[in-house]
Amino acid sequence: NMLQDLAGQHWVITAGPTMEAIDPVRYISNHSSGKMGYALAAAAQARGANVTLISGPVKISVPNDVHIIPVKSADEMLAACETVMTLQADVFIGAAAVADFKMKAACDQKMKKQTNSDELTLTLVKNPDIIATLASKQLARCIIGFAAETQNVMDYAKDKLARKGLDMIIANDVSRTDIGFNSDENQVTVITKDTTWQPEKAAKADLAVSLVDYIGSHYHKTC
């Protein structure tokens, strides 16, 4: 019987890795498990929000009463985001670990091992920046990113907040193995233009409840 104070709001959350095809049987991806984004979706749904979860390939189950859109590549994730936010959403949270690069041209057939060389060069091109695109089009009233960093965490996070045109960024030190990618716990610093807040290290499910609470109460002030 949780407070239903987010009733009537549409929250769109991305989670998991993206998977960029090299050929029909190989891909480029990363270690995101989806746990953080799925926990945020569950926490927002529990407060009454209408939640759309756009997820790369993960092995965890979808929270009850959350609308799931499974995608693979960054291009598909961006297209799904734009489709579900045709009507401006209230809150967007980019918890997905989007691959920064994709193949310039994925191969239609399985690549053959060349016998005449010990090296293989793949040509990659930049993926679209999903959250920066959504922010520039103002597809949600409040646009919140994560910043996964292994060094200079606060500086790099503040830089992403400004450069991507976000309302809030959640800095995540991913050099540690006890938090971040694939672990059950996380510790983050929440940064806006003029505030920072560091909740305690906690299970991702519990941290998500605190983050949703914070975002919900700052929604009208910050965004």
Is there binding between residue 130 and ligand PMT (CB under 6 A)? Answer: yes
Q: Give whichever of 118 and 200 is closer to ligand PMT, judged by the CB atom.
A: 200
Piece of 1-9, 47-55, 90-98, 206-214 that binds ligand PMT (CB under 6 A): 90-98
Contact 81, 139 (CB under 8 A): yes
Binding residue for ligand PMT (CB under 6 A) from 181, 207, 208, 212? 181
Q: Closest separation between CB of residue 111 and ligand PMT, Å?
A: 24
Part in contact with ligand PMT (CB under 6 A); list of ranges 30-38, 135-143, 194-202, 211-219: 30-38
Residue type, 86: T
| 129 has binding-site annotation | yes
* The one catalytic residue among 1, 30, 127, 182: 30
Q: How far is the CB of 8 from ligand PMT (least distance, A)?
A: 25
Packing angle of the helix pair 204-222, 35-46 (nearest 10 deg) = 60
